[in-house]
């Protein structure tokens, strides 16, 4: 299984901390947030990673290189203009082949526990799933409404839920 990690954004809401580095490189327990995400994937045996980069990409690429020091293989795709999540995933399409019927898409700036990834794979493998969080203040964020929806993507249509 492959993972696409979205790490191209500027992190405007985290200014001034992100004036010289992207949000995914902000440290938590002396390691960049993105390193924690990669470690959670590696602990679940997901070692083929496509990293979507943009803002301050050199800092990310210099730190993680090819991923070997983190037990993974990283390929980089540049999102030159940050035009949203769907656009970012579209940039990785060339690395997702017909044999990749299942893959994960994660935000590089959200801490995710290895157990959460394991549960997602075990309980929802093969089904389009969104891991969300409840928030009181949603200004500036994408919002998922709990209604009958049809998931659609550029690769195949999802089930009615």
User: 29: exposed, middle or buried (C-beta count within 10 Å: 0-12, 13-18, 19+)?
Assistant: exposed
- DSSP sequence for 80-104: SS---HHHHHHHTGGG--TT---EE
Residue 150 is predicted with a pLDDT of 53
Domain ranges of the chain: 2-126
- Write the DSSP symbol of residue 13: G
Residue 130 is predicted with a pLDDT of 63
Asked: is 2-126 a CATH 3.90.550.10 domain? The reply is: yes
Residue 5 is predicted with a pLDDT of 94
Residue 161 is predicted with a pLDDT of 37
Residue 145 is predicted with a pLDDT of 65
Successive 10-residue mean pLDDT values, the chain, 161 residues: 88 68 88 96 96 92 97 95 83 82 86 90 68 72 62 40 37
* Cα distance between residue 31 and residue 36, in whole Å: 7
């Amino acid at each position: 299984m492959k993972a696409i990690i979205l790490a191209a954004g500027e992190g405007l809401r985290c200014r001034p901390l992100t004036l010289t580095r992207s949000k995914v490189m902000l440290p938590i327990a002396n390691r960049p947030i993105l390193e924690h995400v990669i470690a959670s994937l590696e602990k679940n045996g997901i070692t083929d990673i496509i990293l979507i980069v943009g803002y301050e990409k050199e800092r990310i690429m210099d730190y993680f290189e090819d991923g070997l020091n983190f037990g993974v293989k990283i390929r980089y795709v540049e999102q030159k203009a940050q035009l949203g999540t769907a656009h970012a995933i579209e940039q990785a399409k060339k690395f997702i082949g017909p044999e990749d019927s299942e893959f994960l898409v994660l935000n590089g700036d959200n801490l995710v526990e290895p157990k959460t990834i394991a549960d997602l794979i075990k309980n929802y493998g093969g089904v389009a799933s969104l891991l969300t969080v409840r928030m009181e203040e949603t200004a500036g964020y994408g919002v998922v409404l709990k209604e009958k929806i049809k998931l659609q993507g550029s690769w195949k249509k999802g089930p009615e839920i």
